[in-house]
Amino acid sequence: MTNMKFIKIFLSLLIFSFITSCDIINPEEDIPAYIEIKEFNYTPEPGGSSSTKITDGWIYVDGEFLGAFNLPRTIPVLRSGEVNIILDAGIKENGIVETPGIYPFYERYATTVTLTPGETVTIQPDTKYDESVAKNVFDENFDDSNLNFSEFEKTDIGAKEGDSGILRLDDEDKPSLSGLSGPILEFPGQGDVAFLELDYKGDVNIFVGVTGYDSFGQDVFTELRYGLNPKEDWNKVYFNFTELMDLLKEQTVDSYRIRIAAQIPLVDGVFIYEEAEVMIDNVKLFVF
Q: From CA 165, how far away is CA 281, in angstroms rounded?
A: 6
Classify the phi-psi angles of 94: left when phi > 0, otherwise alpha if psi is within -120 to 50, otherwise beta. left
Burial of 56 from C-beta contacts in 10 A (0-12 / 13-18 / 19+)? buried
Helix, strand, coil shares of the chain as percentages rounded to 5? 10, 50, 40
- Note whether 143 and 264 are within 8 A (CB): no
Closest alpha carbon to 193 in 104, 254, 107: 104
- Note whether 154 and 165 are within 8 A (CB): yes
| One pLDDT digit (tens) per residue for the chain, 288 residues | 455 544 444 445 444 444 444 444 444 568 999 999 999 999 999 889 999 999 999 999 999 999 999 999 999 999 999 999 999 999 999 999 999 999 999 999 999 999 999 999 999 999 999 999 999 999 999 998 889 999 999 999 999 999 999 999 999 999 999 999 999 999 888 778 999 999 999 999 999 999 999 999 999 999 999 999 999 999 999 999 999 999 998 998 999 999 999 999 999 999 999 999 999 999 999 998
| DSSP-assigned beta bridge partners for residue 60 | 65, 86
- Note whether 159 and 189 are within 8 A (CB): no
The beta strand positions in 24-173, using DSSP E, are 33-37, 41-42, 56-61, 64-70, 73-77, 81-92, 100-102, 109-115, 120-123, 126-127, 135-140, 153-155, 164-170
Which residue type sits at 91? I
* Domains and their CATH numbers in the chain: 33-127 (2.60.40), 135-287 (2.60.120.200)
* DSSP states of 251-263: TT-SEEEEEEEEE
**Type and span of the H or E element at 11:** helix 2-25
End-to-end CA distance of the chain: 89
**Residue 94, SS3?**
coil
- Is 0.85 topped by the overall pTM? yes
